[in-house]
């Protein structure tokens, strides 16, 4: 089933807020509606599976691993009507023009990603994608310190907060990261 018009939906938030679960939920609904779905993920994300997007809670959906945004176009099948992209913040800046092109061709694009890096700053192309999207859903996790809503991702190094000048991209899960509220998010060395 073809869409009348394409669109970009962005699901964002901190780690452990349910972004991938929401992506999978939307993909399953698209399949029920007899739409052709393809899912992509950055090949750098090997936390749970090389060939699936997988939530921290264990939900999974088959995906094509890609190393650069352009790879989406070489794998895209002509009858695809819904494209899912998980962890989009890890892809190169060309992802913005690619998702816009897909949406302009009538494809529904559902993208998930961290809106903020571990330092609490906008992550990759996410600010641009959020601004250009027809729909943005910002999910929240639960702060591991106080139990309030969490909007930040805390990176830990040997149990202590990572420093501001540490590398931005280090793929990991609960062994390296926690969800934190604004009050309990710490970044030593940040001015």
pLDDT at site 92: 97
| 186 has catalytic annotation | no
The closest of 141, 171, 142, 177 to 157, measured between CA atoms, is 177
Matching residue, tokens 């694009």? 109
53's tokens: 């997007």
Question: Is 3.40.50.300 the CATH classification of the domain at 7-139?
Answer: yes
Q: Which of 87, 121, 148, 178 is catalytic?
A: 87
Q: Is the pLDDT of residue 146 over 80?
A: yes
pTM for the model: 0.92
Q: Is the pLDDT of residue 48 over 90?
A: no
Domain locations in the chain as residue ranges: 7-139
- C-alpha pair distances (Å), 47 with each of 7, 172, 174: 29, 6, 11
């Amino acid at each position: 089933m073809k869409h009348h018009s394409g669109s970009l939906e962005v699901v964002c938030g901190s780690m452990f807020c349910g972004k991938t679960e929401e992506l999978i939920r939307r993909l399953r609904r698209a399949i029920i509606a007899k739409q052709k779905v393809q899912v992509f993920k950055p090949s750098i994300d090997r936390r749970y599976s090389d060939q699936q997007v997988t939530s921290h809670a264990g939900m999974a959906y088959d995906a094509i691993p890609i190393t650069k945004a352009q790879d989406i176009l070489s794998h895209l099948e002509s009858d695809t009507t819904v494209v899912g992209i998980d962890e989009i913040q890890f892809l190169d800046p060309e992802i913005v023009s690619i998702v816009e092109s897909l949406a302009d061709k009538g494809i529904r694009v559902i993208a998930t990603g961290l809106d903020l890096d571990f330092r609490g700053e906008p992550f990759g192309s996410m600010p641009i994608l959020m601004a250009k999207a027809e729909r943005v859903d910002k999910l929240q996790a639960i702060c591991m310190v106080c139990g309030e809503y969490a909007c930040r991702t805390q990176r830990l190094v040997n149990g202590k907060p990572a420093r501001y000048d540490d590398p931005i991209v280090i793929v990991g899960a609960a062994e390296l990261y926690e969800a934190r509220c604004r009050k309990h998010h710490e970044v030593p060395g940040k001015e």
